Structure 1
């Protein structure tokens, strides 16, 4: 198993790059060692993309800084007090962290000392599949038996799960998120039991940390089963302060083949938590979502409600005009998921046709401006705004077909009638 893993790692582009090899050469002096650790090794073995590469080393932070500078590499002490230095090599930033041993923990905070023991460093990590190391030649080092867990997609805490969670209660959410991203089969019972026993610890976490982890979870391939288990264990309500429409979310993810947007956390939250507008605002505040996130979620929720209330299906043009292309697509997908959750699948063909139309429908542009009316003799003021609104309503009722000239003639007629 190790030989096969070594072959996979040796073929990785990130290991064969000149930049990382130059970094290894700079650090590994005077008996010090350096190894890639965690996500890059795990993702490569499982065939996932590798967004970044972290390196663990026996070298002290100040030695890493000095050796990198001597090798002509840029070194930044981003977390030097905790042993982390960012080194840029070949245009790529690498986080280089000195091996550590937990001495005493205080929730997320821990008093640590630097060490040279790879097993002790591995023991302070969260899951066995994240405690894998690879040296510069591609040999995988597995001090805790994480390789078999990784290849079997088994998410298992290192050591006693309750102890690992009490060190940082965010690990409850990470357990579900790592499973949703990399797991398979049933969730580990020991880990699940510990999450259930320690769930009140989630109340101690900041909104930012919970929001960051939940957004990543919602994008993961197995988000639906992970969230259902979270909900069954009472964790969703603690993390979000509200209830969840798990059936709707499962139905949303069943549409992934026709709509990649179903993996977006904004749409996922609308489907899961958007019972009423206040629920949407609450979860936006709770997760400290950006203004862009909020804008997209509000448009999706409004479009979904429009579809629910419409006796006749709105036209694609009306939806993209009122809610924007993204809002219209999101709203349709949320509505479609709700219908599927209620076992109403007879309209799938109609929904699919509407989705296709929304992707290509030109966004109608109202051809008239207030300046046009002023130029024709209308005075500024509230009456001008009212007239413009009436003209826009007439334009929409016409199926967006009225031209600027048509609207100018209509404005004259409306003025005469007044």
Structure 2
């Protein structure tokens, strides 16, 4: 089936670019065809950014390499065993993949053969809105009727949902992530039922794949709704090994207009799973998070704990000095989400405190060991103790004492 959608793609910058047209010209030789497929089509139709472009073709991988080289483009065999060649044109990488069809499926180890049948290629994909193709002229091809689903933001598996999931259990998480990113209305019942029936398959996935998918889900517009469904189905506990504070996450997302940090997965995971410090260790290990991600989550949790335990809200200067600007803001978000979920806070107070953390100057202790040595103090453990005492005095002053004033206190501190 061939459909024109108001000439959308004929007016799309990325399709009209010389770079992608050069790829089409190189690949489409000797009767071979090439079409953009999947995310770029979906995102264009739904007015989302297009971060990358995938191209499907009837040409064999070796032919793609040879033709790209002959056209002066740069082919890279990034996934040649699976039929994928990355072709760099005008500095932009395009993943060009030969049409495939499954012969036998063993989960992710399906045996595939390269083919020339666009319908069979479409049938092996995950969701109907991802099985859309556009040729170099901007004509949209919809072999499985996914256009209507896409325009109406319905997320449906292609064919039998249980079979699609058994081919790759990560599609359970992708179902919720795609719904959170592009869906509208109620989630597809057939897909939800299949995810529930196949949920034990999540236990066979690697931590890296689960972590990557979950971090993408946490950024999506409907993340709170998708996570609530996952939690109700027992999928969150299987994926993370723990419980979830869904109400707190709902509250966190209500602060999005004031703080874009609520979309950061590190903040979302602390809100969802950070009951105690050990929970953070578990989730970091389970998702194989980077050292930077771990550090940010732990700093946010410590800042939150400081706010939770304080009888009086600490000064902005104290929070900034102890946790840095990002840690202080993250901690405030985590703490305020908890208070909102318990109806113990209001937006006015939050806005005031957030503004303070964003605008206040971050205090810097004005003394170093070298300053004390210059005043006649010998290096050694006692020097460190003296610096600690002076730092306490500096904090007690509200971070107001300067270098000379602190040095002036040295005789009384000996």
Shift of 1:5: 2.4
For 1:262-411, list aligned pairs within 5 A.
262-345=262-345, 347-411=346-410
- Tell me the equivalent position of 1:143: 143
After superposition, give the CA deviation of every residue in 1:24-74 in whole Å (9 maximum; x if it has no partner): 011001000000000000000000000000000000000000000000000
Shift of 1:80: 0.7
Asked if the contact 2:161/2:194 (under 8 Å) is kept, the reply is yes
Asked if the contact 1:161/1:194 (under 8 Å) is kept, the reply is yes
- Matches of 2:150 and 2:347 in 1, distance apart? 38
Asked if the contact 1:158/1:164 (under 8 Å) is kept, the reply is yes
- Matches of 1:91 and 1:6 in 2, distance apart? 30
- Matches of 1:188 and 1:254 in 2, distance apart? 25
- Tell me the equivalent position of 2:25: 25
Gaps of 5+ in 2: none
For 1:246-261, list aligned pairs within 5 A.
246-261=246-261
After superposition, give the CA deviation of every residue in 1:267-306 in whole Å (9 maximum; x if it has no partner): 0000000001110111011101011111111111111111
Asked if the contact 1:6/1:140 (under 8 Å) is kept, the reply is no
- Tell me the equivalent position of 1:153: 153
- Matches of 1:218 and 1:2 in 2, distance apart? 35
Shift of 1:9: 1.8
After superposition, give the CA deviation of every residue in 1:352-405 in whole Å (9 maximum; x if it has no partner): 111011111111110000111112111222211111111111101111100101
Shift of 1:109: 1.4
After superposition, give the CA deviation of every residue in 1:63-108 in whole Å (9 maximum; x if it has no partner): 0000000000000111111100000011100000000001111111
- Matches of 1:306 and 1:230 in 2, distance apart? 31
Residues 65 and 4 (structure 1), Cα distance of their counterparts in 2 relative to 1, 3 Å cut: closer
- Matches of 1:275 and 1:334 in 2, distance apart? 11
| DSSP-derived class of the 1:35 partner | strand
Shift of 1:411: 2.1
| DSSP-derived class of the 1:85 partner | strand
| DSSP-derived class of the 1:5 partner | coil
After TM superposition, the runs of 4+ consecutive aligned structure 1 residues lying more than 6 A away are: none
Shift of 1:4: 5.8
- Tell me the equivalent position of 2:241: 241
Shift of 1:17: 0.3
For 1:80-159, list aligned pairs within 5 A.
80-159=80-159
Asked if the contact 1:23/1:68 (under 8 Å) is kept, the reply is yes
Q: Is 2:216 the counterpart of 1:216?
A: yes
Shift of 1:348: 2.1
After superposition, give the CA deviation of every residue in 1:310-335 in whole Å (9 maximum; x if it has no partner): 10011111111110000000110111
| DSSP-derived class of the 1:7 partner | coil
Residues 224 and 75 (structure 1), Cα distance of their counterparts in 2 relative to 1, 3 Å cut: same
Gaps of 5+ in 1: none
Asked if the contact 1:6/1:138 (under 8 Å) is kept, the reply is no
- Tell me the equivalent position of 1:42: 42
Residues 307 and 67 (structure 1), Cα distance of their counterparts in 2 relative to 1, 3 Å cut: same
Asked if the contact 1:6/1:139 (under 8 Å) is kept, the reply is no
Aligned residues: 414
- Tell me the equivalent position of 2:225: 225
| DSSP-derived class of the 1:249 partner | helix
- Tell me the equivalent position of 1:172: 172
Asked if the contact 2:4/2:139 (under 8 Å) is kept, the reply is no
Asked if the contact 1:303/1:331 (under 8 Å) is kept, the reply is yes
- Matches of 1:64 and 1:183 in 2, distance apart? 35
Residues 2 and 303 (structure 1), Cα distance of their counterparts in 2 relative to 1, 3 Å cut: farther
| DSSP-derived class of the 2:110 partner | strand
TM-score normalised to structure 2 length: 0.99
